[in-house]
Amino acid sequence: MHYRYPLILLLVTVVWGMTFPVLKVATVLLSGVEITTLRFCIAALCMLPFVRGISLAAWRDGFWLGALALVSMAAQAYGLQFIASNRSAFLTSLNVLMVPLLGLLLGGRPSWMIFVAAALACLGIGMMSYDGEAHLWADIATLLAALAYAVYTMGMSARARLHKAVQLASAQVWCMAAMGLVWMLLDSGLARVKSLPAALNMEVLLGLLFLGALASAATFFLQALAQTHVSAEQAAIIYAMEPVFAALFAWFYLAEVMTSMAQAGALVVIFAVVLSQRPGAVQAGGGKEPPNAYPPPK
């Protein structure tokens, strides 16, 4: 496997990590639902030149992939109302373990190395962010978010090879923008939605442009491009680098301090990502081209 594709996914996690301070600023004026919807509306406009010619199959796959991603975001947003962001990050990271387990249930053959790397990634994120204050329904919602994103990661690896990356990303972003608008109207109400333009200042607007153009449109395209060549199991472990980069950017921009435990956890995650990219990490029996260790969903 060419290492440029894992490096592309690593770049995606860098961009995701940069969203942390941007979201901190935006949440002063906007709700999580409003931020999510507006970022995907901006992303949809960015992808508008590529909408023409998208096949019905790409729209179908884009719709259900977008729905999974939106369910994950919505469930995580609900959980964050009742539990600390540290606990949410830890529970969400369990998708790293869910991907190889689901792959195994679907007839795949992830190697022992993948399971070790996945467990190490979860351990590292736990060292960085675990918080012990539980809330039953919030924990269940956050675990649902992790499961939805695990299925999303598997679906992306299974379907990305069937479409042009830019078309699958465009279909997904447009479907998410449409579903997000319905979600925002139900959550915020029509009067609040009409007042949103007046509520935005330049700092928040620039943040939304970054979230929409780079952290949504560009990253969805890069995911669709790279996961044609990277297995879902390996992609999930690479995505575990997100909280590492988030912590680094929070330290740089917001002067937040990383404890010694958090620093050690970050090193464990990095080691897990390196381990997941070793030859033979995808299938126990080896294989020269194992982009998917399971059959694509029907």
Residue 109 pLDDT:
72
Which mean pLDDT values do the consecutive 10-residue runs of the chain (298 residues) have?
83 86 80 88 95 94 94 83 73 83 77 81 78 76 91 92 93 96 92 90 92 93 91 86 80 73 83 75 44 36
Cβ contact 263:269 at 8 Å: no
Q: Enumerate the domain spans of the chain.
A: 4-276
Residue 293 pLDDT:
37
Residue 281 pLDDT:
59
pTM: 0.79
In angstroms, what CA-CA distances link 223 with 8, 46, 149, 172?
8, 16, 13, 12
Residue 209 pLDDT:
95
Residue 99 pLDDT:
87
Angle, CA of 36, 41 and 45, to the nearest 5°: 150
Cβ contact 209:42 at 8 Å: yes
Cβ contact 61:232 at 8 Å: no
In angstroms, what CA-CA distances link 229 with 75, 98, 126, 131, 161?
29, 20, 29, 35, 8
